[in-house]
Structure 1
Amino acid sequence: MRKALILAAALAAVATPALAEQTAPAGKLLPFLDKFLKVPPAERTRLKLSYALRRDGQPLANLKATLVEKTGARTPLPVNGEGYFERLPTLSQIEGGAEIVLDVPADAKLGKLMSFGTQLKPAGEYDARELAMTVTEANTVIGKAAGPMAFMAPKMTGIAFPKAESGMIVFADGHSTPLPEAEQTPYFRPADHQGAVRVKLTKTPTKVAFYDGKK
């Protein structure tokens, strides 16, 4: 009987993972978020910061994640089907030492993906001045968030429209010119098209992203 109990306990130990969760400080798992949140909200209304986790190069869709504060308070952090967090910690939670508990093995190696994007919604037409202000705001916020390392930070030069196929830039005097493209993605660089008033696309883009190229 005693041998049977020992054998059962041994089998149970083998069958049960030693640790089924992985925990990391929120500020470490989501780098740069605290610096972004320190910029006054009124100065970053056109921007958003998104994070996703990857394992073996694949998104961890619908991952179960929970924010745990020092007080013991627990807040679910939903992850969508593409692996992106739908909710992020606040600045006070990060600075308060909150941790994020992930429903993955403790020894799983995870990759991080940070996306600095716009709040612009996919549409068929845009105000060129709004696009220009979005680019300006992005570079201002990046500079403030980066602090002394601002000279190393990426610089956004325009707005890209993935899957829009093509488009036209319309100027105040009525003339128009085709949108340039990079890797089959139309983009608009305000500095190259002074006096533009509208950007019209052939097809609604899947998203509105930043462009950081020079051409």
Structure 2
Amino acid sequence: MKRALALMLGVALVTAATPALAEKSAPAGRVMMFLDKFLKVPPAERSRVRLSYAIRHDDKPAGNLKATLVEKNGARTPLPINADGYFERLPTLAQLQGDPQIVFDVPADWKMGSAIDFAPQLKPAGEYDVGELSATVNEANTVMGKAGGILAFAAPKMSGILFEKASGGLVVFGDGRTAPLPTIASGPYFRPGDFQGAVRVKLTKSPTKVAFYSGKK
């Protein structure tokens, strides 16, 4: 979390067992911390970033669980969880403001937690426009500044974009010059402030995932 950020923050869940229904529940606002603040930022100002939430059990992804959002008026909305433990659907801001619960179909003695993934909307590719990379980094910092909360506390400044397992790559400048991308163990990364006049980033192969980078070098 210090340098390469698909920002993962673990949150332990204290759930209430409901034996009659063979389910456990937890407040949606605890399972999905920061989501309400994120959704209050106008959509046009957060179009390049996303929040995802995963359920974990024994420090491992808890995939393919059955989860349901239950509002105080009794309305129930399925929240599918994929094989990697991530919610495929999130509550709306209106739903969250009603203090709903998320009900999980899991054993009563399960110890559960949730993790937040704050990441770019950028898709894995072999080449990127530097203007879009820069705009994505700037937007991430703006969103955290406006919404505040746990993300701003844990990662106050994004400095670049990480291309996980892309092996290597080049930065291409407007005059045709090139320079190698710096690399850490998880892959090469691009910091806009380090390459003035750059126009493209070309990778040796498409990354497995695009994430935020928060290192100073």
Task: Give me the whole-angstrom Cα distance separating, in 2, the residues matched to 1:188 and 1:142.
Answer: 20
1:156 counterpart (155, 158, 161): 158
Tell me if 1:213 matches 2:215.
yes
Q: Which position in structure 2 is the counterpart of 1:138? A: 140
- CA 1:152/1:29 → structure 2, altered by over 3 Å: closer, same or farther? closer
What is the CA-CA distance between 1:18 and the residue it aligns to?
Answer: 7.1
Q: Which position in structure 2 is the counterpart of 1:35? A: 37
2:185 counterpart (180, 183, 186): 183
Q: Deviations over 1:180-213 (max 9, x none)?
A: 0011410000011111100000001111110011
2:200 counterpart (195, 198, 201): 198
Task: Give me the whole-angstrom Cα distance separating, in 1, the residues matched to 2:105 and 2:119.
Answer: 27
Q: How does 1:1-215 map to 2 (within 5 A)?
A: 20-146=22-148, 150=152, 153-215=155-217
- CA 1:148/1:154 → structure 2, altered by over 3 Å: closer, same or farther? closer
Q: Secondary structure at the match of 1:135?
A: helix
Query: In proportion to residue count, which structure has more helix?
Result: 1
- CA 1:211/1:172 → structure 2, altered by over 3 Å: closer, same or farther? same
Residue identity in the other structure for 1:169? V
Unaligned runs of 5+ in 1: 1-16
Residue identity in the other structure for 2:95? Q
Task: Give me the whole-angstrom Cα distance separating, in 1, the residues matched to 2:25 and 2:186.
Answer: 41
Query: In proportion to residue count, which structure has more strand?
Result: 2
Give the aligned length: 199
Q: Which position in structure 1 is the counterpart of 2:12? A: none
Residue identity in the other structure for 1:136? N
Q: Which position in structure 1 is the counterpart of 2:4? A: none
Task: Give me the whole-angstrom Cα distance separating, in 1, the residues matched to 2:172 and 2:100.
Answer: 49
Task: Give me the whole-angstrom Cα distance separating, in 2, the residues matched to 1:107 and 1:44.
Answer: 38
CA contact (8 A) 2:34 2:149 kept: no
Q: Which has the higher contact order (CA 8 A, sep 6+)?
A: 2
Unaligned runs of 5+ in 2: 1-18
Over 3 Å off, 4+ runs? 147-153
CA contact (8 A) 1:143 1:153 kept: no
Q: Deviations over 1:26-70 (max 9, x none)?
A: 111111111111111110000100110111111111110001111
What is the CA-CA distance between 1:105 and the residue it aligns to?
Answer: 2.4
Q: Deviations over 1:57-85 (max 9, x none)?
A: 11111110001111211111011110000
What is the CA-CA distance between 1:131 and the residue it aligns to?
Answer: 0.1
CA contact (8 A) 1:162 1:206 kept: yes
- CA 1:52/1:148 → structure 2, altered by over 3 Å: closer, same or farther? closer
- CA 1:149/1:30 → structure 2, altered by over 3 Å: closer, same or farther? closer
Q: Which position in structure 2 is the counterpart of 1:10? A: none
TM-score between both structures, scaled by the size of structure 2: 0.87
Residue identity in the other structure for 2:105? D
Q: Percent identity between the aligned chains? A: 68
TM-score between both structures, scaled by the size of structure 1: 0.88
Task: Give me the whole-angstrom Cα distance separating, in 2, the residues matched to 1:56 and 1:152.
Answer: 23
Task: Give me the whole-angstrom Cα distance separating, in 1, the residues matched to 2:149 and 2:85.
Answer: 30
